[in-house]
Amino acid sequence: MTSSWIRPGCAARIGCALIPLLALTACDQHGVDRPLPGTRTGDIGAGLKKAEIADGDRLVITTQGGVRVVGTDGDSVTVDDAALARWDGDGSSHTLDLTCDAGDDQARVNCVGMPLVRVPAGVVLTVRARNAGIDVSDVRGGLNLSTVDGDVTVQDSGAKGALQRLVTRNGSVRATGLSARAVGAETVNGDVDLLCATSPETLDGVTRNGSVRVILPADAPPYATRASTVNGRSITDVPAAGPAETRHRLTLRTVNGDTEAHRRQTGPRRSS
């Protein structure tokens, strides 16, 4: 069961009343209800579990562990009942903090697990994690994902006109079905492996100890490609852009590993 977001401390004050189907209330110093932007009320639950968010709003998820984010057709951000979360909204920018506290039974889940967060399409998503991975699937919008000591994994996500930034350290960046106007993917110790659903105008893939592999759509245009490695090989069969075709650019860099850029191969059509 999923229950609505509530502001910590409201239940302890008599002056706070929950008004159904209106804005989530919080207590000021006089016990007067005041709305928390971007949220609405419902049932009182054990923690913050649900909040409305508008198309185009920015959502920032912070955690000291990892997180799994899945897209939804609804208009609300929801959090797995097993996780403890805190919500803060300010205009079109909202922050969801998956609190990590080893001394709290509910918050401990956020430290060692991958809490599930569902977000609607059109949200500009930022995730800041640590000591674990970020797993994003079916999220239609701009992505800014960063962690340390974990992988960044993206499946069937992004938007054709959006900037996608995927960064980790001591982990790999792997994306399939990625839609983007521009892509920046970076790690230090790990691979960068990108399968693009659209042809981004610019794509930068950078690592130090690992390989960089990019597969573009079969109908991708010519690209101005710069690929470099020290201990490895560079393979590129994407058509090279001419002097008047520099709108699309690929930059692939590593030190210890290979760089590869390909267009997806279309196999022969099967006879019926």
Q: What is the pLDDT along the chain (272 residues), one digit of tens a residue?
A: 333 333 333 333 333 333 232 233 333 333 333 333 344 332 223 455 778 888 889 999 999 888 999 999 988 899 887 777 888 877 889 999 887 765 655 556 666 668 899 999 999 999 999 889 999 999 999 999 999 999 999 999 999 999 999 999 999 999 999 999 999 999 999 999 999 999 999 999 999 999 999 999 999 999 999 999 999 999 999 999 888 777 899 999 999 999 999 999 875 544 43
pLDDT at position 80 is: 81
pLDDT at position 128 is: 95
Secondary structure letter of residue 26 according to DSSP: E
The per-type count for the chain, helices as H runs and strands as E runs, is: 1, 23
pLDDT at position 15 is: 39
> Starting at the edge strand that comes first in sequence, how are the strands of the sheet with 134-137 ordered?
50-52, 76-79, 116-120, 67-72, 134-137, 152-158, 173-179, 192-196, 212-216, 259-263, 234-236
pLDDT at position 103 is: 62
Closest CA relative to residue 186, chosen from 168, 163, 201: 168
pLDDT at position 62 is: 93
Classify strands 86-90 and 259-263 as parallel, antiparallel or unpaired: unpaired
Question: For residues 227 and 206, is the Cβ–Cβ distance under 8 A?
Answer: no
Domains, the chain, with CATH or none: 55-263 (2.160.20)
pLDDT at position 109 is: 61
Q: Rounded to the nearest 5°, which phi and psi values hold at 243?
A: -55, -30
